[in-house]
Structure 1
Amino acid sequence: MFSDYSWSELGSIFAMQGFAGLVLFSVLVLMALGLAIIFGQMGVINMAHGEFMILGAYVTYLVAGFFEAFLPALVPISFFVAVVLAFFASGALGVAVEMSLIRFLYKRPLDTLLATWGLSLILQQTYRTVFGAREVGVTLPSWMMGSLPLTDIIEIPINGLIVMAITLLITLGVYLVMFRSRLGAQTRAVVQNRTMAGAVGIDTEKVDRMTFGLGCGIAGVAGSAFTMIGSTGPSAGQLYIVDTFLVVVFGGAASLLGTIASAFTISQAQSTMEFFLSGSMAKVLTLLTVVGILMLRPQGLFTLKVRR
């Protein structure tokens, strides 16, 4: 497999695939952070998480078209406006779903799986009806196109750097919210002991609603980032939902650090193997490796110690 390449060619290949893996890592982290908050903190198996991501992608598509048609002078900043609107659109839908559906299914994980799977199909058909079955692409501002030459062989896409910068900011924001804010303290209190949290005056229903909305909003930001590396279609979210659950379970369902470490490991492994093997074989080998590790360590890479 490696004998057909020289050492310099292998170095260039690993460098380029490593950077491609970082872009995939960024999207997986954004998806997995939202899912880790919902699944890890609330115990809800949200099979519609990919559709919240695609909502963010479609919002980005609509915003880009609006700026091109009515505000061409502001096109250079249109993407960042779209990221903010995607967060609030997906977050608002998440709050509505929690209030109308999820709050009746707490402590019934299999029921949440079936209910959100049905919601996933409904949202896919809604997107197909509104936007059509064909995939659409977002026209990025000119300054976000092109690449930066690292060496004579290796070039780094500018949009990949922007995706990683957004991921870094969102990850920092999630850390601040979960560990340095009132909402984060209330969320962790509800996770550890819901009855006691309610007894000391915490509105547990409001915390659930805001937590679910936050997780879905982060998925919307992932959708905006997704438009920079791929086209958007009604069922595109399903391509990432399995990998996202794999990241969350492998890293540890309630650990943000584990989510990041797991996303990095899986994305780098898949990106490198896809160059030398087929994409399907890379996924199979990655899945088998993760399953083997989980058999030895079923709690995942990182776990939180919670007093029972």
Structure 2
Amino acid sequence: MSVDMLLSQIFNGLSLFTILALMAIGLAIVFGLMGVINMAHGELMAMGAYMTYLTSVIFSRWLPGVMGASFLVGIVVAFLTTAAFGLLLETVMIRHLYKRPLDTLLATWGVSLILQQVFRQVFGPINVSVPTASWLQGAWSPMPGLDLPLARVFIIALTLAVALGVYLFLFKSRWGLRIRSVMQNRAMAGAAGINTARVDAVTFAVGCGLAGVAGSALTMIASTGPATGQQYIVDAFIVVVFGGVESLIGTFVSAFMIGQMQSLFEMPFSGSMAKAAILLLVIVALYFRPSGLFSIKVRR
């Protein structure tokens, strides 16, 4: 195996890492910080991808002169749309199911099935694609024989920017302080005057909005269909559990490790065998560290 091929596979692993990380960061906020098993998280990613597609269609028809900005606008539209849907979902359904994980799982699974049918009715059963912006076309050649698509390089930068934004939001803002307080001790946070219901709604909305950003990033790598979310939801849960349910750093590192292993294992094995090998390694790791690689110790 040549060095160029190895570097190419590592870069492919980085591309998979970006999707897993964006998907899992939002899921870690909803599942890790709130304890809500949201089976519709994958469909929220697909919703973000469809919103990016709609934005590109609108720009191509009515604003062709600024078509290059459609993807950036699509990211913002995807985040706002999925965050608003998440806020509505939390207000109408999720807040009535806290501390009932099985009921939450079944309810959100039903929401995911409904959303899949809505996508089929509105956009059709055939996958749709978002045209690559002119400034993201082409490749970057850091060395002879190695060409890295600019679209994927941009997505890697987007993932790092989102991770930094989430860190600043959770650890450097007053809302982040409220969220961490409610996560560690809900009763004491409420006694201190924090509106725990509002914090839950904002937390769930932000987690859903990040799924929408993951959907936008996905449009630069693959097409989008009604069942797109189901292809990533299991992997995202594995990433969150493997990294540590309440650790965002663990989620980020876990996404990187699984993305790289998936890419490298596909060289000697098939795609299905690579996934099976990764799942086996995750099971062995969780046997020795049931709380994940980066579990957080808090006083309950």
Which residue of the partner structure matches residue 230 of structure 2? 238
Q: Secondary structure at the match of 1:148?
A: strand
**Aligned partners of 1:206, 1:248: CA distance in 2, in Å?**
24
Match of 1:29 among 8, 14, 21: 21
Which residue of the partner structure matches residue 76 of structure 2? 84
**Aligned partners of 1:71, 1:103: CA distance in 2, in Å?**
41
**Aligned partners of 1:176, 1:148: CA distance in 2, in Å?**
30
Match of 1:52 among 40, 44, 63: 44
The offset of 1:264, in angstroms, is 0.6
Which residue of the partner structure matches residue 194 of structure 2? 202
Which residue of the partner structure matches residue 136 of structure 2? 144
What is the aligned residue count?
300
**Aligned partners of 1:86, 1:128: CA distance in 2, in Å?**
18
Match of 2:296 among 260, 281, 304: 304
Q: How does 1:165-244 map to 2 (within 5 A)?
A: 165-244=157-236
Give 5+ residue unaligned stretches, structure 2: none
Q: How does 1:37-116 map to 2 (within 5 A)?
A: 37-116=29-108
The offset of 1:276, in angstroms, is 2.2
**Aligned partners of 2:268, 2:208: CA distance in 1, in Å?**
35
**Aligned partners of 1:77, 1:191: CA distance in 2, in Å?**
38
Which residue of the partner structure matches residue 7 of structure 2? 15
**Aligned partners of 2:256, 2:26: CA distance in 1, in Å?**
16
Match of 1:248 among 240, 255, 280: 240
Amino acid of the residue matched to residue 124 of structure 1?
Q
Which residue of the partner structure matches residue 157 of structure 1? 149
Q: Secondary structure at the match of 2:148?
A: strand
The offset of 1:291, in angstroms, is 0.5
Which residue of the partner structure matches residue 278 of structure 2? 286
Which residue of the partner structure matches residue 270 of structure 1? 262
Q: Secondary structure at the match of 1:275?
A: coil
- Provide the alpha-carbon RMSD of the alignment: 0.8
Give 5+ residue unaligned stretches, structure 1: none
The range that moved more, 270-279 or 29-38, is: 270-279
Amino acid of the residue matched to residue 110 of structure 1?
L
Q: Secondary structure at the match of 1:156?
A: strand
**Aligned partners of 1:303, 1:294: CA distance in 2, in Å?**
11
Show CA shifts across 1:206-261 (max 9, x none). Answer: 00000000000000000000000000001101000011000000000100110011
Give identity over the alignment, percent. Answer: 55
**Aligned partners of 2:163, 2:185: CA distance in 1, in Å?**
26
Q: Secondary structure at the match of 1:149?
A: strand
TM-score normalised according to structure 2 size:
0.99
Show CA shifts across 1:263-292 (max 9, x none). Answer: 011000001111221000000000000001
Q: Secondary structure at the match of 1:12?
A: helix
The offset of 1:127, in angstroms, is 0.6
The offset of 1:150, in angstroms, is 2.7
The offset of 1:12, in angstroms, is 1.6
**Aligned partners of 2:154, 2:211: CA distance in 1, in Å?**
17
The offset of 1:140, in angstroms, is 1.6
**Aligned partners of 1:145, 1:281: CA distance in 2, in Å?**
33
**Aligned partners of 1:19, 1:139: CA distance in 2, in Å?**
22
**Aligned partners of 1:16, 1:114: CA distance in 2, in Å?**
41
The range that moved more, 272-281 or 129-138, is: 272-281
**Aligned partners of 2:140, 2:203: CA distance in 1, in Å?**
38
- Which aligned segments of 4 or more residues in structure 1 are displaced greater than 3 angstroms? none
Show CA shifts across 1:34-64 (max 9, x none). Answer: 0000001100001100000011100000000
**Aligned partners of 2:89, 2:108: CA distance in 1, in Å?**
9
**Aligned partners of 1:33, 1:293: CA distance in 2, in Å?**
21
Q: Secondary structure at the match of 1:23?
A: helix
Q: Secondary structure at the match of 1:303?
A: coil
Q: Secondary structure at the match of 2:56?
A: helix
**Aligned partners of 1:150, 1:276: CA distance in 2, in Å?**
26
Which residue of the partner structure matches residue 129 of structure 1? 121
